Amino acid sequence: MVFDRVAAIILRQYYLLRGSFSRVLPLFIWVAIDIVLWGFLTRYLNSVSGSRIDFVPMMLGAVLLWDFFIRIMQGVTMAFFEDVWSRNFLNIFATPIRISEYVLGLVASSVLTSSIGVLMMLGLSTTVFGLSFFTYGLMLVPFILVLFLFGIALGILGCSAVMRFGPSAEWFIWPIPAMIAPFAAVFYPVSTLPGWMQAVSHLVAPSYVFEGMRMFLAGKVVPWQMLATGSALALAYVFLAGLVFKSTYLHAVRTGLIARYSAENLG
Amino acid sequence: MTAVLSVKDLRKQYGTTIAVDGVSFELRPGEILGLLGPNGAGKTTTINMILGVLEPTNGSIAIEGIDLATARSQALTHTNFAAVYAPLPGNLSVVENLRIFGLLYGVKDLSARIKELLHQFNLGSFANTKSGALSSGEQTRLCLAKAMLNRPHLLLMDEPTASLDPATARDIRVMIRSFMSQGVGGVLWTSHNMYEVQEVCDRVIFLSHGRSLLEGDPKTLPAQHGKNSLEDLFVAVAREPLTLQQIGAYGI
Do residues B63 and B135 share a domain? Answer: no
Best mutation site among B13, B61, B103 for testing chain A: the one with the most A CBs within 10 Å?
A: B103
Do residues B15 and B139 share a domain? Answer: no
Do residues B195 and B223 share a domain? Answer: yes
Task: Tell if the CB–CB gap between A96 and B91 is shorter than 8 Å.
Answer: no
CA distance A54 to B252: 93
Do residues B2 and B116 share a domain? Answer: no
Q: How many domains, in total, are found in chain A?
A: 1
Listed by number, the residues of chain A in 44-83 with a beta carbon closer than 8 Å to a beta carbon of chain B are 82
Name the domain boundary from B98, B123, B151.
Answer: B151
pLDDT at A122: 85
A95 Cα to chain B: minimum distance (Å)? 6
Confidence grade of residue A261 (pLDDT, cut at 50, 70, 90): low
Q: Is the pLDDT assigned to residue B250 strictly greater than 50?
A: no
Q: Is the pLDDT assigned to residue A265 strictly greater than 80?
A: no
Name the domain boundary from B109, B129, B151.
Answer: B151
pLDDT at B167: 86
pLDDT at B152: 94
Phi, psi for A2 (deg, rounded to 5): -105, 115
* pLDDT-above-70 percentage for chain A: 97
CA distance A176 to A160: 14
CA gyration radius, chain B: 18
Contacts of B146 (CB under 8 A, 6+ apart): A91, B80, B82, B88, B97, B98, B101
Q: Is the pLDDT assigned to residue B251 strictly greater than 60?
A: no
Do residues B95 and B22 share a domain? Answer: no
One-character DSSP codes across chain B: ---SEEEEEEEEEETTEEEEEEEEEEE-TT-EEEEE-STTSSHHHHHHHHTTSS--SEEEEEETTEETTT-HHHHHTTEEEEETT-PPPTTSBHHHHHHHHHHHTT-TTHHHHHHHHHHHTT-GGGTTSBGGGS-HHHHHHHHHHHHHTT--SEEEEESTTTTS-HHHHHHHHHHHHHHHHTTS-EEEEE-S-HHHHHHH-SEEEEEETTEEEEEE-TTTHHHHTT-SSHHHHHHHHHH-HHHHHHHHHHT-
Q: Averaged over B206-226, what is the pLDDT?
A: 91
Task: Tell if the CB–CB gap between A95 and B14 is shorter than 8 Å.
Answer: no
Do residues B53 and B143 share a domain? Answer: no
Do residues B9 and B100 share a domain? Answer: no
What CATH number is given to the structural domain containing B41?
3.40.50.300
CA distance A75 to A80: 9
Structural domain of A227: 3-263
The pLDDT tens digits for A13-24 are 999 999 789 998
Question: Alpha carbon A177 to chain centroid distance?
Answer: 8
pLDDT at A260: 76
**Distance in Å from the first CA to the final CA of chain A:** 29
Confidence grade of residue B102 (pLDDT, cut at 50, 70, 90): very high
pLDDT at B216: 93
The pLDDT tens digits for A178-199 are 999 999 999 999 999 999 999 9
pLDDT at B247: 55
Best mutation site among B47, B48, B53, B188 for testing chain A: the one with the most A CBs within 10 Å?
A: B53
Structural domain of B211: 1-78+158-252
The pLDDT tens digits for B103-123 are 999 999 999 999 999 999 999
If phi over 0 gives left and psi between -120 and 50 gives alpha, with beta otherwise, what is residue B125? Answer: alpha
Do residues B39 and B147 share a domain? Answer: no
Task: Tell if the CB–CB gap between B86 and A92 is shorter than 8 Å.
Answer: no
**Which of A25-29, A158-162, B126-130 has the least mean pLDDT?**
A25-29
Q: Averaged over B41-45, what is the pLDDT?
A: 92
**What average pLDDT does chain A have?**
90
Do residues B40 and B137 share a domain? Answer: no
Q: Is the pLDDT assigned to residue B205 strictly greater than 80?
A: yes
Phi, psi for B80 (deg, rounded to 5): -155, 170
* Nearest residue to A91 (alpha-carbon basis) of A246, A259, A263: A259
Do residues B134 and B177 share a domain? Answer: no
**What average pLDDT does chain B have?**
90
Do residues B6 and B103 share a domain? Answer: no
What letter would DSSP give residue A220? P
Q: How many domains, in total, are found in chain B?
A: 2
Do residues B132 and B224 share a domain? Answer: no
Name the domain boundary from B151, B183, B201.
Answer: B151
pLDDT at B241: 63
